[in-house]
Amino acid sequence: MADANEFAVGPMLAAYAMRVEESLGRRHAEPAHPYRNDYERDRDRVIHSRAFRRLEDKTQVFTLRFSDHFRNRLTHTLEVAQISRTVARVLGLNLDLVEALALAHDIGHPPFGHAGEEVLDGLMREHGGSFDHNIHALRIVEGFEQKYLDFSGLNLTFEVREGIIKHSHDCDPALFPELAEYRLDDRPTLEAQVIDLADEIGYNCADLDDGYEAKLLTVAAMRDGMLLFDRLYRPLEKKRAAAPEKLLFNEALKQLLDALVTDLIDSTRERLRKSGARSVEDVRRNPKRLAGFGGAMGTEDMRVKDFLSARLYAHPSIRAERKKITRSLEGLFQHFLEHPRSLPASYHAKAQQEALHRIVCDYIAGMTDSYLIQQYGKYVTG
């Protein structure tokens, strides 16, 4: 059978799309697969990884104490993959690469969402280090996943590793000399750029939905705080005055998501046209990322974010959760620093080569929410 990387499968790729046959490849050479190209194999490797499965029990915004039908990091990831695929297909981007990147985009997240990330980062800074979920994701795919006879990690292609590192923000090349191979001065592929926006659209709409469902956000507050939401809600309410509020809300939210995705597609296309980008190299060299909203939708998007920050993330019941999360992460971190022998043997053994606080951080970052609570109970409060 021929090499799967040679097949042009699916829709035609645009000139600025990443072609799998032009990939900079894997760290460890592997024979080509007969019917899956390298990006399809990367997607499959991510799905079959432990870190991916653990997303099921990692908080997005709401812990399970609120409700078990809210998003967790796994269902959020699936929403991002779905939005990304839609955008990528319309723009003629590489769907396999987009899917691999979307499914991998949050695998470096520690337990308890952004609160968890901030607490771990703060703890690491006390020891002269830091914690960033993108860098942690790279450590996972480059080393922690142990599945293959010939190498540690998942041996993913360069473009997927690069996308992981450049997810949602640029890294300063001066601060991360060890990441020089990823050309930190250059933009990532358009496929990676699209993921960031799909992530943002996904979590903004999901947080509004879960916030409403949790009764922490009201329709009145949303209409007041987000002009676009009000513009979408008003005609619905007029036309269907007898409809239950929940269904009107659902419809308006669906239209909001659609408006954001449509603007992302149109504005990215327009920016691509203006930039004259005709190749991946042009995309990389462009002074700014090309995927993004237009000016007006950018303003609306900021309003949504500001609204969520002020009304949901800062809500007293979310803050109260945060205090508990901080206490358990700090308590467990301290415990393992003082009693490294209670770490699993494989982690304890690593303390010969690396600083203990780094190993403790890696161990805790890999935990699911419930495992962290269980370990905190066992070692700290038990």
* CA–CA separation, 165 and 174 (whole Å): 15
Is 55 or 290 the residue whose CB approaches Mg ion more closely?
A: 55
Q: Which amino acid is at 207?
A: D
361/371 Cα distance (integer angstroms)? 15
Residue type, 145: E
Structure tokens at 125: 């800074």
38 vs 99 by CB, closer to Mg ion: 99
Nearest-approach distance from CB 322 to Mg ion, in angstroms = 19
Binding segment for Mg ion among 171-179, 197-205, 207-215, 266-274 (CB under 5 A)? 197-205
Q: Yes or no: say if 280 and 22 are a contact pair by the CB < 8 Å rule.
A: yes
Least Å distance, CB 211 to Mg ion, is 17
Helix/strand/coil for 231: helix
With contacts defined by CB under 5 A, name the span among 38-46, 152-160, 198-206, 306-314 that binds Mg ion. 198-206
How far is the C-alpha of 134 from the C-alpha of 140, rounded, in Å?
A: 10
**241: phi then psi, degrees, rounded to nearest 5:** -60, -30
Classify residue 43 as exposed, middle or buried by CB count within 10 Å of its CB (0-12, 13-18, 19+): buried
> By CB under 5 A, is residue 200 in contact with Mg ion?
no
Tokens of 33: 């697969």
Q: 42 vs 199, which CB is nearer to Mg ion?
A: 199
Q: Is 199 in the site for Mg ion (CB under 5 A)?
A: yes
Per CB under 5 A, contacts with Mg ion among 310-329 are none
Least distance from Mg ion to the Cβ atom of residue 209, Å: 15
Residue 106 CB, nearest approach to Mg ion (Å): 4
81 or 329: CB nearest Mg ion: 81
Smallest separation (angstroms) from Mg ion to the CB of 81: 11
CA distance 323 to 148: 40
- Give the one residue of 106, 117, 209, 301 binding Mg ion; rule: CB under 5 A: 106
For the CB of residue 191, give the shortest distance to Mg ion in the complex, in Å: 16
Nearer to Mg ion, 141 or 272 (CB): 141
What is the size of the binding site for Mg ion (CB under 5 A)?
Answer: 2
Is position 79 an interface residue for Mg ion (rule: CB under 5 A)? no
Q: Which long-range contacts (CB under 8 A, 24 or more apart) does 151-156 make?
A: 151/27, 151/28, 154/42, 154/45, 154/46, 154/49, 155/26, 155/27, 155/28, 155/30, 155/45, 156/26, 156/42, 156/45, 156/46, 156/100, 156/104
Residue closer to Mg ion, measured from CB, 106 or 162: 106
Of 100 and 248, nearer to Mg ion (C-beta) is 100
Least separation in angstroms between CB 203 and Mg ion = 6
CB of 164 to Mg ion, least distance (A): 12
Q: Which residues contact 199 (CB under 8 A, 6 or more apart)?
A: 80, 105, 167, 168
Interface segment toward Mg ion; rule CB under 5 A; list 100-108, 140-148, 159-167, 362-370: 100-108
Binding positions for Mg ion, rule: CB under 5 A? 106, 199
